[in-house]
Amino acid sequence: MATMATTAVQTSSVGVPLRITLQRVERRRKLRAFGLVLPLLLFIVIAFVMPIGRMMFDAVHDDTLLVLMPKTTAALSVWDGKDLPDESAYAALAGDLKEAWSQKTAGRIGERMNYELSGVASEVKSSARKASMLSAGPYKAAMIDISSIWGQREVWSLLKRGRSAYTAFYLLRSADFQYGPESQIVASPPENAIFRDIFLRTLGISIGVTAATLLLGFPLAYLLATLPARTSNLLMMAILTSFFTSVLVRTTAWVVLLQDHGLINETLMALHILSQPAELIFNRFGTVLAMTHIQLPFTLLPIYSVMKSISPSHVRAARSLGAGPFYAFWKVYFPQTLPGIAAGCLLTFILCLGYYITPALVGGPGDMMVSNFVATYTNEQLNWGMASALGAILLTATLLLYFVFNKLVGLDQIRMG
C-alpha cells in the first residue's frame, strides 16, 4: 500500500489529478485576492507611479528646441563647433524664427534658451520679429546684424545640443554645473551655484529636527509607556490633539507666538528682560522649532509603541542581577528601544527632507529647502525641468539613504508598532 501511494498519481474522488485540483483552488484564491487589491493598485499607479515616473522623465527630457526649431537643429548636425556655422545654418535659423513668429512660439524658444544663457530671451524674441521681415538671403550677416547673439558660439552650441530630446542640463544645474561654450561641463558661476547649498541645508535642517524630536520625544515616550494608564492616556491625548491640528494652523500659531511683537517678545520686553525684540522667527531657529513641533509625534509614536512592548520584567531582572537603575536602563531597556528609535527617526527625517510649508511661512530666505525651490520652479517660473530635476535628486537621495539605513540597521528591525 505504502509503495502504491508514492508511485501512483494521486487522484481526487472524481478522478482529476490532485495536483490539478489544488492548482484550480489556488488560482481561484489568487484571483480573488488580486481583485481585492486591484482598486488600490490602480490608484497607486495613477496617483503615484505615473506622476513620479513623469517627473523623473521630465528631469532629463526636453524637446522644446528640437520641436520648435527643427530646421536649425537639423542643419547643425554637421557643424563642427569650432567657428560659427555656415550660411545654411543661418538660413535654417531665419526660417525657424519666421515660423516661430507666425506660430507665436518665439517666447517659448527664448525662455528655453534663457535657462542656459540668461539674458537671451528678449534677443530671441526680437530676432524672430525682425527675421519675419527678412525677404531673402544671405542670412548670416543679416542675422548677426539683427542680434549679436547669433554671432556667439555658445548660442550655437546650445542650439546644437537641442538636436537631442534628452538633456542633462537640469540635473547638472541642480548640482551646480552647466555647459560651457564648447558644450563641455563646467562649474556654474557663483550667481547660479546655489543648489549644493540648498541640498546641504535641507540635509542639515532635517538632521537637526530629527535629533531635536528624538531628544524631546524619547523621555516623553518613556514617561507615556511607564505611567499608569489613566495619566498616560491624558498625556497621549494632549500629544495627539496637536497631531490632529493642521500643519498650517500650527505653523501660523508659531508666527503669532514668535514674531517681533508676538507673545514671547512682548512678555520678555514687559518684564524688561529684553530691550528690543529678539529675532525668533523668519530664521533658522524658527524653522527648526516649528518643524520639531510638527514632527515630534512622528518620532515619538513608534518609540512609544516599541517601549510599550518591552516587558517591565526585563529591567527588574537586570536589577535583581545586580545592575543599578541607570545601568539596567542603558544596557537592557535602551537597546530594546532601538528599533523604535530607528523607525521614528527615519520617518521624521524623510518627511523633513520634503518640508515645504513650514520653511515658507516661518523661515527666512536663507532657510528655504529643496521643496521650496521645487514649488517656485513649478508655480512661478514654470520651469518644469528644474523642478523635476530637483525632485528627482531628492527622491534618489532619499531612496539611497533608505537603503544605506536598511543595510546598517535592517528594516526588519524596525517596528512601527
Partner 1 sequence: MDLRPGLKKPQGGDCPLVGGVPVATHAPGSLKQTCVNDAFVKFSGIQKTYDGETLVVKNLNLDIAQGEFLTMLGPSGSGKTTTLMMLAGFEVPTQGSILLGGRSIGGMPPHKRDIGMVFQNYALFPHMTVEENLAFPLKVRKLGKPEIEVRVKRALDMVRLGVQSKRRPGQLSGGQQQRVALARALVFEPNLVLMDEPLGALDKQLREEMQLEIKHIHDNLGITVVYVTHDQGEALTMSDRIAVFNDGVIQQLATPAELYERPQNPFVAQFIGENNRLNGKVIALNGTTCTVEIPGAGNVQALAVNVEMVGRPTVLSLRPERVKLNPTPGSLPNVFSARVAEVIYLGDHVRVRMSVGGRDDFVVKLSNSEGVAHVEPGAAMTVGWRAEDCRALAAS
Q: What is the DSSP letter of 186?
A: E
Q: Decide if residue 336 touches partner 1 (CB under 8 A).
A: yes
Instruction: Choose between 57 and 327: whose C-beta lies nearer to partner 1.
Output: 327
Of 19-27, 32-40, 258-266, 324-332, the window that binds partner 1 (rule: CB under 8 A) is: 324-332
Q: Decide if residue 330 touches partner 1 (CB under 8 A).
A: no
Give CA–CA dist 408/404, Å, rounded.
6
Q: Decide if residue 319 touches partner 1 (CB under 8 A).
A: yes
φ, ψ at 17 (rounded to 5°)? -55, 140
Q: Decide if residue 168 touches partner 1 (CB under 8 A).
A: no
Q: Decide if residue 192 touches partner 1 (CB under 8 A).
A: no
* Burial of 60 (C-beta count, 10 Å sphere; 0-12/13-18/19+): middle
Q: Decide if residue 324 touches partner 1 (CB under 8 A).
A: yes
* Burial of 51 (C-beta count, 10 Å sphere; 0-12/13-18/19+): exposed
Count of residues engaged in binding partner 1, rule: CB under 8 A: 19
Q: Minimum CB separation from partner 1 for residue 344, in Å?
A: 18
Q: Over the range 368-404, which residues count as b (16 or more CB within 10 Å of their CB) and which as e?
A: bbbbbbbbbbbeeeebbbbbbbbbbbbbeeeeebeee
- Among 3, 275, 313, 379, interactor with partner 1 by CB under 8 A: 313
- Among 76, 117, 328, 393, interactor with partner 1 by CB under 8 A: 328
Q: Decide if residue 307 touches partner 1 (CB under 8 A).
A: no
Q: Minimum CB separation from partner 1 for residue 327, in Å?
A: 7
Of 154-162, 166-174, 297-305, 309-317, the window that binds partner 1 (rule: CB under 8 A) is: 309-317
Contact by Cβ (8 Å): 368, 357: no
Q: Decide if residue 320 touches partner 1 (CB under 8 A).
A: yes
Instruction: Choose between 162 and 340: whose C-beta lies nearer to partner 1.
Output: 340
> Which residues, in sequence order, are CB contacts of 341 under 8 Å at separation 6+?
214, 218, 303
Q: Compute the C-alpha angle 49/54/59, nearest 5°.
A: 130
Instruction: Choose between 284 and 319: whose C-beta lies nearer to partner 1.
Output: 319
Give CA–CA dist 314/211, Å, rounded.
27
Give CA–CA dist 228/239, Å, rounded.
17
Residues that bind partner 1 (CB under 8 A): 311, 313-314, 316-325, 327-328, 331-332, 335-336
